[in-house]
Amino acid sequence: MADSISTPTGIPSAGIPSAGNTPIAVTIAGSDSSGGAGIQADLKTFSALGVYGASVITALTAQNTLGVTAIHDAPPDFIAQQMEAVFSDLDVRAVKIGMLSRPATIATVAEGLARLGARHVVLDPVMVAASGARLLEDAAIDTLKSRLLPLADLVTPNLPEAAALLDAPVAEGENETRAQGERLLALGAKAVLMKGGHGTGAESVDLLVTPAGVVRLPAPRHVTRNTHGTGCTLSSAIASGLAKGEDLATAVAAAKAYITGAIAAADRLHVGRGHGPVHHFYALWPSS
């Protein structure tokens, strides 16, 4: 592992694809009935960034901005059928993986990714909703590490998720964050984006940890209660960039800029009475 930490000098634009070259990404995740996270957030992000989005639904949730009241898991064989239908017809160039609540679901998705030759897999290890509801069974953590981490081109844990994957305390400071990212690399992930949204200070600093070194991605920290779906949105924004042919560092930097803007504009929306969503279409909707 190289010792240097670099900071990008500029944030590239997400861009819009030219006619006749339609980038396609698929989200494999749970549905959020309130529209702020999960499948719905992923599809909004794909659309906002000029990517055609397909979906494989792993679970239905009854939830709103106040919390999750019920989860109905899709049968593993039906998840497999959805994957087969999408990949057999569409030229899928990137995959975002979100909520996979049970070991059987994780195993099914892992088998499908390997069988179907999935490219550019971004794994968001969703464990807890913004409201605090648990979305991943404890028994599923080991399956996630053994079956999916080795298939992921990028894993995007926040600090509590990284700690849970490593059975370690939550990292404090960038040195500990970097060390945990390197430990996740050792478990088989090709690259790790350690997200700093749960940190403190004026900046939210993400660390892109790869075998070649570490890229530091700072952004102003915006104080808002409307953070529902931030992790889903960031990971699907990265998948969008990869689907359009961007390299990993460029896709991550552009996604960081996009989610920062979506959080900064979140209070322009008035959705629900709890943790509202980020503003996926802040660059497209009138500011008024």
Count of helices and strands (H, E) across the chain: 8, 10
Q: Which residue out of 38, 156, 181, 232 is catalytically annotated?
A: 232
Contact 278, 65 (CB under 8 A): no
Q: Is 230 marked active-site?
A: yes
Q: Is 229 marked active-site?
A: yes
Q: Which residue out of 196, 231, 241, 261 is catalytically annotated?
A: 231
Q: Is 232 marked active-site?
A: yes
**Region label for 79, one of left (φ > 0), alpha (ψ between -120 and 50) or beta (otherwise):** alpha
Q: Which residue out of 27, 210, 227, 233 is catalytically annotated?
A: 227
Query: DSSP code of 135?
Result: -
Contact 26, 95 (CB under 8 A): yes
Q: Which residue out of 44, 145, 195, 256 is catalytically annotated?
A: 195
C-alpha radius of gyration, the chain, whole number: 17
Q: Which residue out of 230, 233, 256, 260 is catalytically annotated?
A: 230
Q: Is 231 marked active-site?
A: yes
**Region label for 126, one of left (φ > 0), alpha (ψ between -120 and 50) or beta (otherwise):** beta
Contact 70, 64 (CB under 8 A): no
Catalytic residues: 195, 227, 229-232
